[in-house]
Chains A and B, each alone.
Chain A
Amino acid sequence: MRATIALEDGRIFEGESFGAPGKRAGEVVFNTSMTGYQEILTDPSYKGQIVTMTYPLIGNYGVNPKDVESAGPKVEGFLVRELCPFPSNHAATGPLADYLLRHGVIAITEVDTRALTRHIRLAGAMRCVIAVGEHAPDDLVAEAQAAPGLVGRDMVKEVTCPEGYEFSDGSQPAAGGPLIVVYDFGVKRNILRSLAGMGCRVRVVPASTSADDALALQPAGILLSNGPGDPAGAPYAVREVRGLIGRAPIFGICLGHQLLGLALGGKTYKLKFGHRGSNHPVKELSTGKIDITCQNHGFCVDIDSLDQDQVELTHLNLNDMTLEGMRHKELPIMSVQYHPEASAGPHDARRLFGYFLRMIEMGR
């Protein structure tokens, strides 16, 4: 069935529906990863967003139960150039279309995704309505204009866990391993897997958990997870993070990094169209080493807003020289804007989890 993509600035794209019926609003963004669509679909950081894949052939290897970053798809919609209905991979358990339909995700194929991407690049990520079936484009544009944007909105509450839990990836957690409390702002499973894989005990807590409650668990370290939307939309989280500072070693990833930036007195701003993909070069300033990283963020910590006496910049994005990582000069606090847990994307930055554990060690 025909489907329409209406952007708030009046631009219309068309395609064929291959997912759930209906209509959805969200912020339209693009991701340049050539692989990893299932990880992207299930990444809670995409809550509120309609994701366009720039790689045109999607669905080639189907879906499988392992390549997920949360229980199910989190995107508001999914736009591709050509859906593959005949997946081929030994791990595949079914085609992508069935999976999206089952999870009620609106998905559209035969979209001129390059034109859409170019438009987003030039005009910026923007509100958008996708609708399956016959609709008057003007109405959809009006709906897009009326839809809430991401700025200042709390998306975290949509994806955080309702209650805390011990994470286990099936294997027996190491008994003597350090306990890491993970603030779930929309955590990707691979962060939890990565920590568990390094012998940590992992306790996941809801985003609204108070600093005192978290510290009461006597963690060796706190991980502030990734998550969707604008960090300014979750002032309660900023407040609790501020409460954690100086009381436990902290590692922030993505939204966790932004919350930390705000907690340390910095500012964040919205990037024109964000960083979403698996090929972003990040320079580690202390070693000069460059990692090819997985990224997914629309907001960014303003380098100039940070108190350079207190905070040291550790990582820079070589494409646009935006801030990718920082460290507290005195306290055991570090954070990165990108995703050391990868998934989807290169494993270059996995050693960051090691840095975190070493930081914990040294703090003891």
Chain B
Amino acid sequence: MPKRTDIEKILLIGSGPIVIGQACEFDYSGAQACKALIEEGYQVTLLNSNPATIMTDPVMAHRTYIEPITAGVLAKVIERERPDALLATLGGQTALNVAVQASEAGVLDRFAVEMIGANETAIKCAEDRRKFRAALEEIGVEMPRSRAVYSVQEAREAAREIGFPLIIRPSFTLGGTGASVAYNVGEFQTAAARGLDASMIGEALIEESVIGWKEYELEVMRDRKDNVVIICSIENIDAMGVHTGDSVTVAPAQTLTDKQYQNMRDAALAIIRKVGVETGGSNIQFAVHPDTGRMVAIEMNPRVSRSSALASKATGFPIAKIAAKLAVGYTLDEIPNDITRETPACFEPTIDYCVVKLPRFAFEKFPDADDTLTVSMKSVGEAMAIGRTFKEALQKGLRSLETGLSGLDRKCEAKVVPEDLLPMLARPNPLRLFYVKHALKNNMPIQQIADLTRIDPWFLNNIRQIVEMERELGSLSPEELLSEEFLRKAKRTGFSDRQIADLGGMDPAKVRRRRTDVAVRPVYRLVDTCAAEFEAYTPYFYSTYESEDEARPGARERVVIIGSGPNRIGQGIEFDYCCVHAALAAREDGYDSIMINSNPETVSTDYDTANRLYFEPLTAEDVLNIVEAEKPYGVILQFGGQTPLNISAELEANGVPLLGTSPRSIDLAEDREHFSQILRELGLKQAPSGIATTYEAALQLARRIGYPVLVRPSYVLGGRAMEIVYDAQELKRFMREALKASPEGSVLVDKFLEDAIEVDVDAISDGHRTVIGAIMEHIEQAGVHSGDSACVIPPQTLSRQLQDEIARQTRELSSALDIVGLMNIQFAVQQGEVYVLELNPRASRTIPFVSKATGVPLARLATKVMLGRSLEELGLTEEVRIKHVAVKEAVFPFTRFTGIDTQLGPEMKSTGEVMGIADDFGMAFAKAQLAAGQDLLKEGAVFFSLCQRDKTSLSAGVARKFSQMGFELVATEGTAAFLRASDIPCQRINKVREGRPHVVDAMINGEIGLVINTPSGKNPRQDEIAIRSTAWARRVPIITTIQGAVAAAEAIAGLKEHYLTVKTLQEYIIETHGEAPTPHGARV
């Protein structure tokens, strides 16, 4: 069946901001779908609120709506675009949910839009757990015993019936939100109530626990002619009970016999057919009892998922791309396998290596959060590694995580508290693997570890072999250790040079030199979907230590782009966006682009982004190996966030040609002393500051420069442990903590510029000319991490002169540091004075946002500049000023971590971002809030609770505006008194400790529609924490800064005055530049 000709225009929905449970994988799937559909000649319209994605680039679709993903907005887009078909199976749960809502609301019928891929009936059958169960019963596939409930009462009955432990699973949620385990009645009550609440339809499933069973996933694809294939099997190392996103997983399944695997495959085929996913990819999970082999189906995602991204990268089979083609009518046998070219996509990939995926957590950002791993996902990113054995892949994976490990090394053990061994083995937690190592080193029997952890002995035995190898290597003399025999043995077991060096008490460089001398070098092997059975053309490589190298550097000059590794808070999809652009730009200019990255979710690790892809850890060793194999013209470090910069010195020392701003300049910018020196020479202002190593010194310093001060341990990255302190008392407490945290034992003390406006500038320079990308004004005041602050282009309160001054300072700094490529500077403006806060000589998090807002592809231009082209030649000689307004808003993971404080501060906590774009600020801000999940027009009163410092005329003005717009105001005692004193009518409400009913009661009852709560300092009162966490849990919009409240008031005014309207990015670009680029789906 060839492709359908009865449809022309297809609307694709993305997954919105990066949140826990939905990350770059949907940019990967969406971008693949865009490419595939454009290639087939369809008109593609896209809805996605996330500006950091590749898919929202103006060349990826014909019509791109960067608008909130809500049913209402979707209806407006449909009304305006009149698409023939809606494809919602590639944008995660967000896209699926909003499509179902639109379908239920009759929008699709009204405008005759057909859902392709999976329709409403199939989606509901897969997602409604009762329907799913009934369907599986009909085909004789077993599930855990269970019952659907709609009230706590019913839940209790179900619990009695089934018996503990129990799983409580809300229906229709995202990434397992709200699902939890209960071992006793007490836990069960709370969990059941929360589960019912988290479900979009107030339904939860009370289920027989299969915790501790072996967990498997199959990635399944089906076409219109009912051909079904399995793309990949995945086995979870962490048994059932840990969300698969938080589990270490392995592909393919390792411990099933063929008969057991085929039974699972049969069940998967039967399920996808029964559920009726017409075309595309689905993910089906199974649990297998380790002792009896009883197999039960757990759940199904009727769409591509994080696991399908992993499966695509693990096998080389592009699931999303094929899913898009199947959705428009092709069958599997009509689509060629890109990798082999000769064989069709209708087959099951077979692999001849082992893939390990490891989650990356961010609990250091949320010290109060419980780090127990459960059925609700908590990790923020993942790394994947490929090796010929599990041991090799595991060790590569551990160093790919970029958490300071060089494998299953000795540092792992530093995190172990021996007394906690048993509980830390029994309780799933991020450090468990390290405890396993410790247990093995101390000769705990495999079976005992398996009983405690429920990790299959196969994995434990493999880890034991690593431990034994480490022991053997550690017992050797340096000469023996560096013998060819042992080097080869170690490398084949996945040991890094650093690990070997550490075991021999020597420098890693020595291990490298010695390896070179005795020719113990990695070879590169192809990921080819077919285990070498057919010739493969797509150059996707991994390293291993064997006999035959399959890498084939081409004739063209090569440019290596170092990616950004696993997502983490502070370094995510924005950098992948830049890396992808770099790869495409280098290709465009006639180079072969070489991508190195370890993050399976990303577009950069799609095998057709760069000319060659190396799926490898981003350590100096691994990068140097590739550089030796590829002998590139240059290596680009600027786009992968901090990751490439961390290895820049080592690369330079090894003579690697680095492109763009020199490592010397990078050092100058990153070294405080040198940077201050430069500022002084240029006559630029900086907040007064100093370094202290004792409390007394810090106290003296703080007194000299004046409170409040911003304090942070030196050499700790990403705003970690950074705080604003207002008095000596707080300073004392902080110093105690900080001196513990800082390895150097010193603390940086900066004057905190209170009530200053923070400004971010992205700029590009070719070494002669520096052009401003954009000046962004932060909406939250300085002190909130720039990644967590909303910001706006163009600035709304900065005068033209101030903006010119900021631009001038940017150019001065660029020239002083010889910037070639991108740079980002943060400024603070206090009472008309401009202060330089910091400079990053690399692409910043805001590059994609700026590029979308202005229509200037900065990362692409920067790549060309680094390759020697001038900005003039590239047609960018001055800042592009826009007529519309673009707002970026951060998105937070607070609902994932119950009971933590949600106050914003100098430490970044957000996982993602959204963009609101409109003709005026109010509407742009309102859209950004809506996109971030804050419904500003929620019913109810506006609750004010202001800290002493914020009881100003500014806040009174905001309150008055709300009052004038007809909102009822409620406030706690002090704030109420302040408002009344300013003649603003308001109701007093009890604080939590003042007796009931209090403010939290009112929030739970839905009486409050907006919370404006400015925090009172580092040690917030308990009720502030309660208010903030209730707001997150109840989805009551919350604003924690006065500046944010000002913006919200304007936004609400905007929403009340006129309807939210939608407009494409291409239209904005035409307004700015006169024309828009032709969509080509990123083909070069």
Contact = CB atoms under 8 A, between A and B. Distances in A.
B531 interface: yes
Contact of B229 (A292, A344, A345): A292
Interface in A258-299: 277-281, 283, 288-290, 292
Interface string B165-188: 000000000000000000000000
A290 B333 contact: yes
Interface string B343-377: 11011111111100000000000000000000000
Nearest to B250: A57
B592 to A, nearest CB: 23
B461 interface: yes
B353 A60 contact: no
B342 interface: yes
B262 interface: yes
Nearest to A292: B348
Nearest to A287: B225
A295 to B, nearest CB: 11
Nearest to B349: A279
B258 A35 contact: yes
B389 interface: yes
Contacts of A115: 546-548
Contacts of B262: 342, 344-347
A34 B352 CA distance: 8
Interface in A103-137: 112-115, 117-118, 121
A35 B260 CA distance: 10
A168 to B, nearest CB: 20
B456 interface: yes
A121 B333 contact: no
Nearest to B265: A346
Interface string A336-364: 00000011111100000000000000000
A318 B289 CA distance: 37
Contact of B389 (A32, A67, A82, A281): A82
A344 B266 CA distance: 14
Contacts of A8: none
Interface in A46-87: 54-57, 60-61, 64, 66-67, 81-82, 84, 86-87
A279 B348 contact: yes
Contacts of A345: 258, 262
B491 to A, nearest CB: 14
Contacts of B458: 60, 84, 86-88
A114 B352 contact: yes
A90 B258 contact: no
A277 B388 contact: no
Nearest to B547: A112
Contact of A56 (B225, B253, B352): B352
Contacts of B390: 57
B354 A33 contact: no
B554 interface: no
Contacts of A292: 229, 347-348
B681 interface: no
Contacts of A281: 333, 343-344, 346-347
Given A54-B532, A55-B531, A33 B350 contact: yes
A347 B333 CA distance: 19
Q: How large is the interface on A (under 10, 10 to 19, 20 to 34, 35 or more residues)?
A: 35 or more
Nearest to A56: B388
Given A61-B256, A64-B257, A319-B342, A88 B350 contact: no
Nearest to B459: A88
B534 A34 contact: no
Contact of B525 (A30, A32, A114): A114
Contact of B351 (A34, A82, A289, A320): A34
Interface stretch (B290-298, B651-659, B835-843): B290-298
- Scoring B227, B252, B290 by chain A CB atoms within 10 A of each residue's CB, the highest score goes to B227
Interface string B524-535: 010000111111
- Scoring B253, B350, B457, B533 by chain A CB atoms within 10 A of each residue's CB, the highest score goes to B533
Contacts of A90: 289-293
Nearest to A275: B533
A319 B350 CA distance: 14
Interface residues of B, number: 55
Contacts of B531: 30, 32, 54-55, 114, 117
A319 B345 CA distance: 10
Contacts of B259: 66-67, 343
Nearest to A34: B252
A221 B458 CA distance: 46
A157 B37 CA distance: 56
A35 B261 CA distance: 8
Nearest to A290: B227
B255 interface: yes
Contact of A288 (B225, B265, B266): B225
Given A67-B257, A345-B258, A118 B347 contact: no
A359 to B, nearest CB: 24
Given A88-B458, A290-B227, A280 B347 contact: yes
B256 A277 contact: no
A198 interface: no
Given A56-B352, A115-B546, A35 B257 contact: yes
A61 B350 contact: no
Contacts of A230: none
A194 to B, nearest CB: 13
Nearest to B337: A319
B973 interface: no
Contacts of B344: 281, 318-319
Interface string A84-106: 10111111000000000000000
A81 B525 CA distance: 14
Nearest to B252: A34
A290 B228 CA distance: 8
A16 interface: no
Nearest to A81: B388
Nearest to B391: A82
A36 interface: yes
A188 B525 CA distance: 35
B739 interface: no
Given A114-B532, A281-B347, A319-B342, A33 B258 contact: yes
A278 to B, nearest CB: 7
A105 B877 CA distance: 74
B254 interface: yes
A318 B343 CA distance: 7
B348 A278 contact: yes
A264 B534 CA distance: 32
Contacts of B229: 292
Interface string B247-291: 000001111111111100110000000000000000000000111
A39 interface: yes
Contacts of B332: 290
A54 B533 CA distance: 9
Contacts of A342: 262
Nearest to A13: B547
B548 A57 contact: no
A89 B235 CA distance: 14
A347 B266 contact: yes
Given A86-B458, A90-B291, A115-B546, A57 B254 contact: yes
Contacts of B1001: none
B347 A279 contact: yes
Given A32-B530, A81-B352, 15 more contacts: A54-B350, A55-B252, A57-B254, A61-B255, A86-B457, A88-B255, A88-B457, A90-B293, A114-B388, A118-B532, A118-B550, A121-B532, A281-B346, A346-B265, A347-B265
Interface of B: 225-227, 229, 252-262, 265-266, 289-293, 332-333, 342-344, 346-354, 388-390, 446, 456-458, 461, 525, 530-535, 546-548, 550
Closest CB pairs A-B (n = 9): A36-B258, A54-B531, A88-B458, A115-B548, A35-B258, A344-B258, A86-B461, A279-B348, A117-B532
8 contacts: A33-B350, A34-B350, A54-B533, A90-B293, A112-B546, A279-B349, A318-B333, A342-B262
